[in-house]
A and B are shown apart, each in its own frame.
Chain A
Amino acid sequence: MSASSRWYQLLLALFSLNAGTAVADYALNMTQGVTRTSQAVYDLHMIIFWICVAIGIVVFGVMIYAMFRHRKSRGVKAAQFHESTTMELVWTLIPIIILVSMAIPATRVLLAMEDTSDADMTIKVTGIQWKWKYDYVDTEAEGLSVVSSLHPDHNEARQLGADADLTVFGDTYLLDVDNPLVVPTGKKIRFLLTAADVIHSWWVPDLGWKKDAIPGFINESWTIIDQPGVYRGQCAELCGRDHAFMPVVVVAKEPAEYAAWVAEQKQAAVDIANSADRVWTKAELMAKGEAVYQTNCAACHQPNGQGLPPVFPALAGSAMATAEDPAAHIDIVLNGKAGSAMTAYRDILNDVDLAAVITYERNAWGNQASIVQPADIKATR
């Protein structure tokens, strides 16, 4: 969006009485969300908010009254009182009572939120710099796996200095992914959150909570979404350079539609497994490889393969990517490099994607080296 049109809208917002409608609908308050939890949290938020406002009015009211009435310029003589145990007791006890009355509903909501028992299905969520991986752990979707990265169009638009028109994305700029998490409505879904590299935090405001994804540990949370729809959120824990570009999109579908989606995904997985057994042409690998590269690797190694030395090495002309024997290259992509940001892609990409991206890296940007077949990857695994 250009600066001038923003300015214009800003002026509109400032000078029109119904600012809310003059500008794209931005919110002032917390969302009420689409789950019972999010509604409960919203209610709690409003209770404490209004209590604070009320206390504020009383406290500031007294203070401002004093500031107007008890000024020297009005000829007031200062009183000299400076102690009152009664008053101290009063303003110790009243806040305590107020706090207790806040703590009770808060405790109720908290206990309900932490109860993950009796879930209908379980999804494992893994945060990876900078994407999410979803594994369906049980039910008919068992074995399905979705890797969810920032949508390529958005990825292009958000490059430094890109003169992109952000209005085309509407309210979803940076909040859209290539493959969303699809879940059924009306089911209690248990989420198991973890991470592969650094701490991330999985957050969809409409569900009413966020929870950290911690490498080496599993955190639990749950939700029941009653309304079909698309719910968007973001990673909420600083996780490095592209923390801002790690959206979460949850698509809730009616159970029947959801079942169809699962069947379709399962078929696609079978197709990929089958295609891994055939020999691919270089052109096929390069085409697929470029797509995989742009979504998975370009964040660090850059779209042009130049990397951001010294932290993210260039792949164009890299010794590893141009060596005749691809073994080392396969190894680093498969297993990552401990102690660096280079993640292990073993469980993130399938054999075809891996073969394709490695082939691509070995033959793009002036590199010229051997191609790698899905079968080679399978053999190395």
Chain B
Amino acid sequence: MSTATADHHGPARGLMRWVTTTNHKDIGSLYLLFALIMFLIGGAMAMVIRAELFQPGLQLVDPQFFNSMTTVHALLMIFGAVMPAFTGLANWLIPMQIGAPDMALPRLNNFSFWLLPFAFTMLLSTFFMNGGGPASGWTLYPPLSLQMDAGFPFMIFAIHLAGISSIMGSINVIVTILNMRAPGMTLMKMPLFVWTWLITAYLLIATMPVLAGAVTMLLTDKFAGTSFFSAAGGGDPVMYQHIFWFFGHPEVYILILPAFGIVSAILPTFARKPLFGYSSMVYATASIAFLSFIVWAHHMFTVGMPVVGELFFMYATMMIAVPTGVKVFNWISTMWRGSMTFETPMLFAVGFIIMFTIGGFSGLMLSIAPADFQYHDTYFVVAHFHYVLVTGAIYSIMAAVYYWLPKWTGHMYDERLGKLHFWISTISVNVLFFPQHFLGLAGMPRRIPDYSVQFADWNMISSLGGFVFGLSQLMFVWIIFKAIRGGRKATDQVWEGAQGLEWTLSSPPPYHSFNQPPTVR
């Protein structure tokens, strides 16, 4: 076992510090900043969507542009906001939580980050090309996606670059966790955030290459005359969907497992009580990850699979409710007979549990194949995934930011504003997404810029909720900005009930986390 890093240097100065840094905290901050920017751009696109859907009739944008908004909104939110935000948290926290000096492969770490700005600039640049941005939905189903004009290869390569970034980032996470733990930090002592990220990283290296393969085949189908996805040449458009969702379903758990880890860190702190059922939490996470590889075709119940296939994927999907339920029940048992306080991170964590579970319930409804024949491609699905993504993934990220911000900056954020942010967000986000269940059940398809008048009322309400939710995120930006600039000094432990290695470091922590590996009980 090694003892320490011998690199006692502080950060370099100026802009180049950020460009050339190999420090896990710098890179973590870069990721988080990048994610925030992408969240704002992707959110602005969602605002265009909601504005066009405010009333029936086409008022603001051409349908083609509307489709681009939907597509790029999703790509930015998933690949640009949530994934980089989680990676940023991983960078900041994993070395501190396992007692390591830094990430295992620091230069690779910087490379993983800096690919992203280039990838997303490329993606966004397609809006200025002939034919405009991608407009075939984030799933890029052929043959429709092949009808895209000049932007097509740029979009594909942007996905390749973002994919390389994720793969390199995940390799780094895996190696850090497996090889850099402080003496005594056994696997079953690791905080759950570390565990969930380890499993997430495996999901990533197993599925991102598959996505890369899928889009590569799109590229050759368009430019090299191949027929992977064309029946005339013996291929099948549905084959793309299978390959895509083999990636796509594990991807949605990539977007939620780290969130589980965050919530499992926050609840014990504010309940002042150890996490209930640590080991079953670990096994549940692993089971979810395993199951996620065999459920992909629940996104494709209507493509005309043989009925045995439909049954298999229905049963497998329903099974996921079991380990997820285990997590929920363990969280509640953690809260049970605790001594709870409700600071902002705790509010977001509790909000997460309730609203994620609502999203999970609608997911379970979607998994019932015959019922999905009605739900599929309606706003019911949109409601489902925004509950798990916005009030799930995004809420967990916000909880994490509030929870660790004092550690990162050394300053407490403004608690009053934080709580206000939580309440405005939570009310508006439900006004935004709950009515979408009704719309979907009443028969409103997704990905449409104009709709029949009987859907008007709920759309208007949803849009209003959307605008308020969007604006309230500016509060979030402001709170972070304020805490970086200054504020009440944070103690090392920050929260009364906080447990774990990162809370033994100073706030803000030293540039190199653990020069001497800490001893773990």
Contact = CB atoms under 8 A, between A and B. Distances in A.
Interface of A: 1, 3, 6, 9-10, 13, 23-31, 40-41, 44-45, 48-49, 52, 55-56, 59-60, 62-63, 66-67, 70-73, 76-84, 87-88, 91-92, 95-96, 99, 102-103, 106-107, 109-111, 113-114, 157-162, 164, 166-167, 169-175, 193, 197-199, 201, 203, 205, 208-212, 214-217, 219-220, 233-245, 308, 310-311, 339-341
B55 A6 contact: yes
Contact of B272 (A78, A162, A212): A78
Given A62-B336, A209-B374, A243-B67, A214 B304 contact: yes
Contact of A78 (B337, B452, B458): B337
Interface in B336-395: 336-342, 350, 353-354, 357-358, 361-362, 364-365, 368-371, 373-374, 376-378
Consensus secondary structure, chain A interface: mixed
B308 to A, nearest CB: 10
Contacts of B202: none
Contact of B377 (A76, A160, A217, A236): A236
Contacts of B322: 92, 95-96, 99
A251 B273 CA distance: 64
A80 B55 contact: no
B130 A310 contact: yes
Contacts of A3: 55
B364 A59 contact: no
A154 to B, nearest CB: 10
A41 B336 CA distance: 39
A73 B354 CA distance: 22
B92 interface: no
Contacts of B64: 240-241, 308, 311
Contact of A6 (B135, B272, B452, B460): B460
A63 B335 contact: yes
A174 B451 contact: yes
A107 B311 contact: yes
B441 interface: yes
B460 A59 contact: no
Nearest to A52: B361
A80 B453 contact: no
Contact of A114 (B63, B307, B330): B307
A164 B339 contact: no
29 contacts: A1-B453, A10-B461, A26-B438, A28-B438, A66-B332, A71-B341, A76-B338, A78-B271, A78-B272, A109-B370, A110-B307, A110-B311, A114-B307, A114-B310, A158-B450, A160-B63, A172-B452, A175-B452, A197-B143, A210-B302, A210-B377, A216-B236, A237-B141, A238-B377, A241-B64, A241-B135, A245-B63, A310-B149, A311-B64
Contacts of A243: 63, 67, 447-448
A73 B136 contact: no
What are the 9 A-B residue pairs with the smallest beta carbon separation, nearest first?
Answer: A216-B231, A244-B448, A219-B304, A78-B339, A52-B361, A27-B442, A209-B373, A79-B337, A82-B274
Nearest to B270: A72
Contacts of A172: 452
Given A79-B273, A110-B310, A72 B458 contact: no
B131 interface: yes
Contact of B333 (A13, A87, A113, A171): A87
A52 B441 CA distance: 16
Contact of A173 (B315, B329, B358, B452): B452
Nearest to B464: A10
Given A71-B340, A78-B273, A27 B454 contact: yes
Interface of B: 55-59, 61-64, 67, 130-131, 135-137, 141, 143-144, 146-147, 149, 230-232, 236-238, 271-278, 280, 302-304, 307, 310-311, 314-315, 318-319, 321-322, 325-326, 328-330, 332-342, 350, 353-354, 357-358, 361-362, 364-365, 368-371, 373-374, 376-378, 438, 441-443, 445, 447-458, 460-461
Given A45-B374, A341-B147, A59 B58 contact: no
A174 B55 CA distance: 14
Contacts of B358: 56
A66 B336 contact: yes
A214 B453 contact: no
Given A48-B365, A160-B62, A102 B457 contact: no
A239 B357 CA distance: 32
B520 to A, nearest CB: 18
Contacts of A173: 56, 452-453
Given A110-B314, A214-B303, A236 B445 contact: yes
A311 B370 CA distance: 39
A4 B236 CA distance: 49
A79 B302 CA distance: 50
Given A92-B322, A238-B141, 16 more contacts: A1-B57, A24-B453, A24-B454, A45-B374, A56-B358, A71-B342, A72-B272, A87-B277, A91-B329, A103-B318, A162-B57, A166-B57, A171-B453, A205-B443, A240-B67, A241-B62
Contacts of B339: 70-72, 76-78
Contact of B357 (A25, A56, A107, A169): A56
A215 B237 contact: yes
Given A55-B361, A62-B336, A91-B329, A25 B237 contact: no
